[in-house]
A and B are shown apart, each in its own frame.
Chain A
Amino acid sequence: MNIVRNIFIAVFSIISSIAFCMARDIIFIEAESFSDRGGWVIDQQSMDVMGSAYMLAHGMGAPVADAHTTFEVSTKGKYRIWVRTRDWVAPWKVEGSPGKFQLLINGQQIETTFGTEGAEWHWQDGGNIRLKSGISKISMHDLSGFEGRCDAIVITNDLKFYPPNQPEELANFRHKYLGLTDKPIDAGKYDLVVVGGGMAGICTAVSAARLGCKVALIQNRPVLGGNNSSEIRVGLSGLIYQKPYTKLGSLVDEIGPVGHWKLWEAQQDSNSVRSQKIFEVIKNNPEKKEHNAGPADNYNDAKKLRIVLTEENLSLFLNTHVMNAEKAGDRIVSVTGKSIITGKEYKFRGALFADCTGDGNLGFLANADFRVGRESKSQTGEDRAPAQADRLVMGTSVQWNSVEEDTFSPFPDTNPWAVQFNENTSHKVNKGDWDWETGANRDQVVEIETIRDYALRVVYGNWDFIKNKSVEKEKFANRKLTWVAYIGGKRESRRLLGDVILKEQDIIQGIKFPDGTFTTTWDVDLHFPIRSNNFTGEPFRSRADMRKIEPYQVPYRCLYSRNVDNLFMAGRDISVTHVALGTVRVQRTTGMMGEVVGMAASVCKEQNALPRDVYSKYFTELQKLMEKGIGNPGW
């Protein structure tokens, strides 16, 4: 009997042991959370579509340094590897798969080359490997420097398991296997939650904080500045210190780097202390005159960060992308942001919110009314509105620059995957400025990865041609491509609607609104894609169609949502028509919007009021603040 019992126990033990050994291990690794990202960069631009950021090997033709991290498995054995990636040029049906990369586990290369298949993001099968129990090291090894990309890696001993790829199922899968909490982490309660850290967002947050509001500033990049950051490098444009509120713009002046327009202002009044100091800066740093696509230091990321960090009432949350908004009635009560690095979620509660995202993301999440594209002439009565409304927008710039080296600087052959150029279609230039603009016919939110990728195919294809194939290639022999933006510089996406929707004729005819605030000075500058007869592909450059204006005061009612009661806007997503956007969209102007919104938020706090009430009941309070100004430029 004992024998039988012992046999039974032994067999049971073996079966249990096998069962234990066979327990399913699924390791989910977000590529962005690699402990050492090497030369790979985080791209979060498509998070609203993908649900996650991803890692990009943006080496401009030179493979980037490996990224490394570790993971742990509980049992030794055979594991299958899945990598979420794509062949980024496959949507254009071209060969070449430039975004190739490999994985190394404990230094051993996996046979599969990733980034070689599929037009869409999907799980590429990496085959099976043997792992010992315990900690292993995993590395991503770029093979080309041409935009290889990886969203996540799954390592599992369930060899038949296939990770989900549909958005909702994938989101749940990520959540479960990243071990994220069911509820977002509480990030606090604020008087004002500002989403978006470009010039508009920074100025909104600092302005409100200085006027006594407790403020959260949420930015989805590691740096502040948006289009004016070193990541995108669009110089600040538009004039500040305009009548009637001649102190508006002081914060823009404080935050913004010395550049083209500061110098222009100084030249109009060369004897002032401010002008002399600006001359001094330019004299010592003449490179600062390069407005767009200049050296990284021209955009002074560190100064912006320093100003925000030293603000007492202001909490900064970098690398956080807002993906959800919770409402009670017609008000937002909280927003949830997701870390673009770890995937962790944070909830920000607030009394007031400001959409400074450019894309109108927060308004979209909160069901705020919005428009995209061009209104029709019958809708707005504008001269430059088309007869039929359409989805055409001003495009996204992917700027680039190069330097002259002492010796020959090689660049790889990009045939066949890049856009192919010839003597007639190529642009024999050293730099790509604002007019390297794509995507005017595409959705700037949903299709941003395609828009940016097409621009990269253009930049690399053109550079390859003029350096390697053109009859003028000798001129470019020593030129080295030193910078290409991988974050697109957008001009237009959603425009949230306020109680007033500003039209071009309001501006041209100088229609005065009782609630005038900041003054816009930039001409009504609309961009259109350039088509040429000898290029069959999608347009990749734009022209500017400008209509002159006199300085014009924009009404306050363009700065809050008409149907989400506690939502402000500042930036390119304010309440204007497509045509009117042409003047207000430049960054010194959007910065002044931010100053005004910050002031209005402080009035709301003081009066326990909503944005609309500031217009109807407390506008004189706002006027007093606009007269006083908020910046300390320190000239």
Chain B
Amino acid sequence: MFYTIFHGLLFLSFSYVEASKNPVIAFQYLTDDSVGLDIYEYYDAAGLLDGYTAHVNTPVCEDSLCYKAELEFYWNITGNFAEFKLMPDRPLTKLDHVPFSKSDYGKLMDILLNQTPSFVYLKRNELVSKNTDENALEIDGISSATVTQVKEDMVEGAIYTCYTLWHIANGEIIFNIKEHTIKKLDKPLIHKLLGSKNLEELFFVIENIDSGYFSIFLPEILSLAEEYGGYFIKSVIENMPVSLMKDDIVQNFFSTNFNQLEHQAQNSLLEKLEEVRLKKSILVVLIDGILPGNSLQNEQIIRMVIKNTNSENIEVLIKMFEVLRNRQIVVSEDLYKELISLEDRYESLKKEVRRFRNIHDKRH
């Protein structure tokens, strides 16, 4: 595998090389070692933002002994480190000046791609025990389990290189890239990301586009929500502007999908739907979602149904009473009183209310 990665590193042409636009500086970034980096945007063949790159030329130091590490870094559009590329005639070397081997480069790639290596919380001076006291040598600053793991997470003989480069690849720059990409989110870029089938990018778009773009791309977003379901659909609901909730397309979508949603996603949806007028089709679906064992959600649905019905769609209320009766749904005393009072408002509900009351009275 390392061999493949190494070859990939050396011989693959990166997309920015083929891009139709010249790279421009996105922002400047100062590393923990106070090395200034110019972070460039790079683009796909269509000229759309595709990621970021920087020429990294950093000292790697152990006490007063320093040497240089020089290479190109690449991050994806959401800020995650993607890969590195070696500079011609500038191989990475270890402390003893031995050049990295192919497997060392492969290992380095794995390290830089790992967002939670075991050395995250170690200070630089904890990486190697310098205590010459014999007793103290037995007592490394990190647990024996961690020592083993740290060794596994490092290229042997190049721990400071790994440590330094990891902190550049995975430091605050991730946040900065995200922020920069958010500013660049325009129609073509959003269109590209929504079509990427890359879940990380899809979440990024859903969480960061404004209400205008949400509206423009609503059909695509709902289609993706249907495709991925689960937690993705919950994120779509939570990030969808309330103003879109009254849209026919949205209410129809959730009429079809409500019963497949996870419980928390249903609750998020109900919270959003509270804000808007609901159509009959979605009310009927919500009523079908009234189930024994879901007391709190049931109460919310019942109140929403009462709020959104009138004499013109009384059949919705009749259906709800049927469900309450048939599924033996128990409600709070407050809600019970509200339900019973509906017979004063709607003559045609009297029969249903009476049957519901009979069941309730038997239980209390």
Interface positions of A (Cβ within 8 A of B) = 86, 90-93, 117-122, 124, 160-162, 164-166, 168-169, 237, 260, 263-264, 267, 270, 279, 282-283, 286, 289-291, 294, 384, 386-387, 431, 435, 441, 447, 450, 528, 530-538, 541-548
Contacts and interface: CB of A to CB of B under 8 A. Distances in A.
B50 to A, nearest CB: 15
Contact of B299 (A117, A166, A532): A166
B326 interface: no
Contacts of B363: 160-162
Q: Is the interface of A mostly helix, strand, loop or mixed?
A: loop
5 contacts: A237-B121, A260-B142, A291-B146, A537-B231, A546-B171
A531 B200 contact: yes
A168 B198 CA distance: 45
A162 B363 CA distance: 6
A263 B146 CA distance: 14
B170 interface: yes
Contacts of A117: 292-293
Interface string B122-145: 000010000101011011111111
Nearest to B293: A118
Closest 4 CB pairs of A and B: A118-B293, A166-B332, A91-B263, A289-B143
B213 to A, nearest CB: 14
B97 interface: no
A206 B109 CA distance: 50
Contacts of A166: 295-296, 299, 331-335
Nearest to B147: A289
A530 B116 contact: yes
Contacts of B199: 531-536
Given A263-B139, A536-B230, A450 B292 contact: no
Given A118-B293, A165-B295, A283-B138, A544 B121 contact: yes
Contacts of B333: 164, 166, 169
Contacts of B297: 119-120
Interface stretch (B36-44, B172-180, B305-313, B343-351): B172-180
Interface residues of B, number: 59
A626 to B, nearest CB: 27
B263 A92 contact: yes
A283 B139 contact: yes
Contacts of A542: 116
A537 B265 CA distance: 13
A521 to B, nearest CB: 11
A165 B32 CA distance: 55
Nearest to B32: A548
Nearest to B332: A166
B142 A119 contact: no
Given A543-B116, A545-B171, 15 more contacts: A92-B263, A120-B294, A122-B294, A267-B136, A279-B139, A283-B139, A289-B143, A290-B145, A386-B179, A431-B145, A537-B230, A538-B231, A543-B174, A545-B175, A546-B120
B332 A450 contact: no
Contact of B200 (A122, A450, A533, A543): A533
Interface string B217-255: 000000000001111100100100000000000000000
Contacts of A544: 116, 120-121
A286 B146 CA distance: 12
A544 B166 CA distance: 12
B200 A289 contact: no
Contacts of B172: 384, 545-547
A124 B295 CA distance: 12
A279 B136 contact: yes
A93 B143 contact: no
Candidate in A120, A294, A450 with the most chain B CB atoms within 10 angstroms: A120
Nearest to B228: A536
Contacts of B264: 91, 447, 450
B330 interface: yes
B292 A118 contact: yes
B293 A289 contact: no
Contacts of A270: 131, 133, 136
A264 B292 contact: no
Contacts of A263: 139, 141
Contacts of B232: 536
B338 interface: no
B262 A120 contact: no
A548 B30 CA distance: 12
A160 B362 contact: yes
Nearest to B291: A118
Contacts of B362: 160
B22 interface: no
A122 B292 contact: yes
Interface string B307-335: 00000000000000000000000111111
B115 interface: yes
A387 B182 CA distance: 9
A258 to B, nearest CB: 11
A279 B139 CA distance: 7
Candidate in A92, A267, A542 with the most chain B CB atoms within 10 angstroms: A267
Contacts of B334: 166
Contacts of A165: 295, 330
B26 to A, nearest CB: 15
A120 B182 CA distance: 38
B167 to A, nearest CB: 9
